[in-house]
Amino acid sequence: MTQELAKSALKKYFGYDDFRPLQLKIIEGVFRGEDGIVLMPTGGGKSMCFQIPAVTMTGTVVVVSPLISLMKDQVDGLRAVGIRAAYLNSSQTGTESLAVETAYESGELHLLYVSPEKLLSQGFFTFLKRRKICLFAIDEAHCISAWGHDFRPEYTRLKGLKTAFPETPVLALTATADRLTRKDMAEQLGIPSAEQHISSFNRPNLSLAVRPGLKRREQIINFLRERPNEAGIVYCLSRKQTEKMADNLRAAGYNAEAYHAGLPAARRAEVQSDFINDKTLIVCATIAFGMGIDKSNVRWVIHYTLPKNLENYYQEIGRAGRDGAKADTLLFYSYNDYLTLKDMISGNPNSELQVAKLDRMKEYAESMACRRRILLNYFSEDHAEDCGNCDVCANPPERFDGTILAQKALSAVARLKESVGAGMAIDVLRGSARADLRSRGYDQVKTYGAGRDISAFDWNQYFNQLISLGYLYVAHEDYNKVKLTPAARRVLFEKETVELVKMTTIKKRREAAGAKTRKFAETKRENMSLFDKLRQVRKDLAREFGIPPYLVFNDATLHEMVDQRPVTDAEMGRISGVGERKLHRFGDRFIAVIKAEGA
């Protein structure tokens, strides 16, 4: 297989001229029959890594996904661009399943989506062996690891896949997995030597903001007034909270519905369908909602309360702006949120790890460092620049040259051989007389007492900043010991400077944090008339063809039409996201509106 073949398929079916970073490398690995671990953020293009092989290789790609509610949307989207796809899961009737199985056996399918339960059911491996399978793609693969944020015990049985199909490559894909989870994923799937393809977690189109959890309803109403007719999700902690929030928003005149596991299945399906088809603009939901949504034009996500960990938070904000256009995220935080979650977690299996991850979530919410840097460094992505698109960057705190202080802290961790937690490292720096410290000989290290002029509280804050900035990380699997990152060595040996936030600034800002105004709109105001007209055409076409509006064209494609004003098939074909099939099905309707606007 060649790059040219892959690029030709990309243009033909999806309307894009070039692959995103890493996609082509991953696809070429599949062509060579290699296993792989793929870590890409939500909206980063994971699915393209197995969809292109499906239309360019001999055989069928089998996609294993726990998201039953998402399968139909995914298959509908593929069929809309001319790719032969189907799914098998517990939601189907016997007649429907039989039709799909017949299509598979006759070699009609490019892709077959199956739930883990279906894949692991008796006799299903034998059924699959009746046709050539060119790839197994394991979506949401972090579910196989007990270290992950969404562990599902049934996923551990997937290890048998490689034993049953030793010659078929396995591609494990996830949007959220830290260093430890990635390693465990590979081992659990029986592909320990698989190459890890880690894409940048940077989603520059997402603005990040944290606000104090005071008068949340009032703050949300003000937020929505600046975003009329835009789709979004409000994540809530409890079922009761989702119902109350939806009631409040409806009372304020907004088109909002609640979604949670306590609703009847038919009602949940109705809410999800209405949201996907733009009949409902706002959904107030528990985290059960986000996993089943593949809607590209979500323009904002609000967290009413603190999420349990950074993995959940990152995955949930990733529901916004999947089309690449600008989107906003807002997190409300209070210390009581943290205490409530800590009480809920206590007593759970693996509760020590869960509390440690909750603590990192709390530190993110309280931090005065660039929020994007914190997120990227948490996922082991060395990112040294501030983003300019978060609330901290918009209102930067007062900083000072903390290089010497950082060198002391990092040197202490190094001299203690990365074998202690932050508390012990701080006690060494402050010259503590603790008996256990002395018995281990820590009072003999060179940095003992080197920071005795700084209080333990302030040292703790500075250690949190060094973790947020990516110079240290906490090894949860090794008794929460603090360890050095590659960036730390640049500070210790390559004269890299470190800016830290003054403690006085942190205290002042916590007393007087406030709302920030929204960034300038994606499309200039004078272009909004055409954009709204194109959006209405999209809605009409979606109704005619019985598909969600975003499967016609996403917001980013409509924005490009507004900017470029294509009035011929050739010009429309050059718009990103307009492939051959969509050009023939929908192009004329959009061109007519653009021509009328220019008349």
Q: Is the pLDDT of residue 384 over 90?
A: no
Q: Is the pLDDT of residue 394 over 50?
A: yes
Find, among 502, 567, 101, 73, the residue nearest to 322 by Cα. 73
Q: How many CA atoms lie within 13 A of 342 on its CB side?
A: 13
Query: What's the CA dihedral at 242, 362, 180, 65 to 10 degrees?
Result: 10
Q: Quote the pLDDT of residue 28.
A: 95
Q: Quote the pLDDT of residue 251.
A: 95
Q: Quote the pLDDT of residue 478.
A: 83
Q: Is the pLDDT of residue 422 over 70?
A: yes
Q: Quote the pLDDT of residue 496.
A: 92
Q: What average pLDDT does range 395-401 have in this prediction?
A: 90
SS3 assignment, position 115: coil
Percentage of the chain exceeding pLDDT 70: 93
SS3 assignment, position 298: strand
How does pLDDT run across 555-565, given as a tens digit for each residue?
889 988 998 89
Q: Quote the pLDDT of residue 487.
A: 92
pTM for this predicted structure: 0.73
Please tell me the distance from the alpha carbon of residue 178 to that of residue 112, in angstroms, as a whole number: 29
How does pLDDT run across 487-509, given as a tens digit for each residue?
999 999 998 999 998 876 555 55
Q: What average pLDDT does range 371-386 have in this prediction?
A: 87
The answer to whether the CB of 220 falls within 8 A of the CB of 340 is no
Q: Is the pLDDT of residue 518 over 80?
A: no
Q: Quote the pLDDT of residue 519.
A: 35
Q: Quote the pLDDT of residue 288.
A: 61
Q: Quote the pLDDT of residue 509.
A: 52
Q: Quote the pLDDT of residue 290.
A: 57
Q: Is the pLDDT of residue 525 over 50?
A: no
Q: Is the pLDDT of residue 596 over 90?
A: no
Q: Quote the pLDDT of residue 333.
A: 94
Q: Quote the pLDDT of residue 73.
A: 81
Q: Quote the pLDDT of residue 62.
A: 98
Q: Is the pLDDT of residue 512 over 80?
A: no
Q: Quote the pLDDT of residue 516.
A: 37
Q: Mutual orientation of helices 310-317 and 351-366 as an angle, nearest 10°?
A: 60
Please tell me the distance from the alpha carbon of residue 501 to that of residue 41, in angstroms, as a whole number: 29
Look up residue 363 and give its amino acid: E
Q: Is the pLDDT of residue 335 over 80?
A: yes
Q: What average pLDDT does range 571-587 have in this prediction?
A: 90
Q: Quote the pLDDT of residue 273.
A: 87
Q: What average pLDDT does range 356-378 have in this prediction?
A: 91
The answer to whether the CB of 164 falls within 8 A of the CB of 126 is no
Q: What average pLDDT does range 250-254 have in this prediction?
A: 95
Q: What average pLDDT does range 394-409 have in this prediction?
A: 93
**Residue 214 — pLDDT band, cuts 50, 70, 90?**
confident
- Tell me which of 525 and 10 has the higher pLDDT: 10
Report the 3 state secondary structure along 461-523: HHHHHHHHCCCEEEEHHHCCEEEECHHHHHHHHCCCCCEEECHHHHHHHHHCCCCCCCCCCCC
Query: What's the CA dihedral at 404, 406, 407, 408 to 10 degrees?
Result: 90
Q: Is the pLDDT of residue 530 over 50?
A: yes
SS3 assignment, position 541: helix
Q: Quote the pLDDT of residue 508.
A: 55
- Tell me which of 403 and 176 has the higher pLDDT: 403
**Residue 551 — pLDDT band, cuts 50, 70, 90?**
confident
Please tell me the distance from the alpha carbon of residue 461 to that of residue 420, in angstroms, as a whole number: 17
- Tell me which of 277 and 282 has the higher pLDDT: 282
Q: Is the pLDDT of residue 75 over 70?
A: yes
Q: What average pLDDT does range 324-337 have in this prediction?
A: 93
Phi-psi region of 126 (alpha: psi -120 to 50; beta: other; left: phi over 0): alpha
Q: Quote the pLDDT of residue 18.
A: 92
The domains of the chain, with CATH numbers, are 3-198 (3.40.50.300), 206-366 (3.40.50.300), 399-511 (1.10.10.10), 525-598 (1.10.150.80)
Q: What average pLDDT does range 149-157 have in this prediction?
A: 73
**Residue 417 — pLDDT band, cuts 50, 70, 90?**
very high
Question: What value does the mean pLDDT of the chain take?
Answer: 89
Q: Is the pLDDT of residue 361 over 70?
A: yes
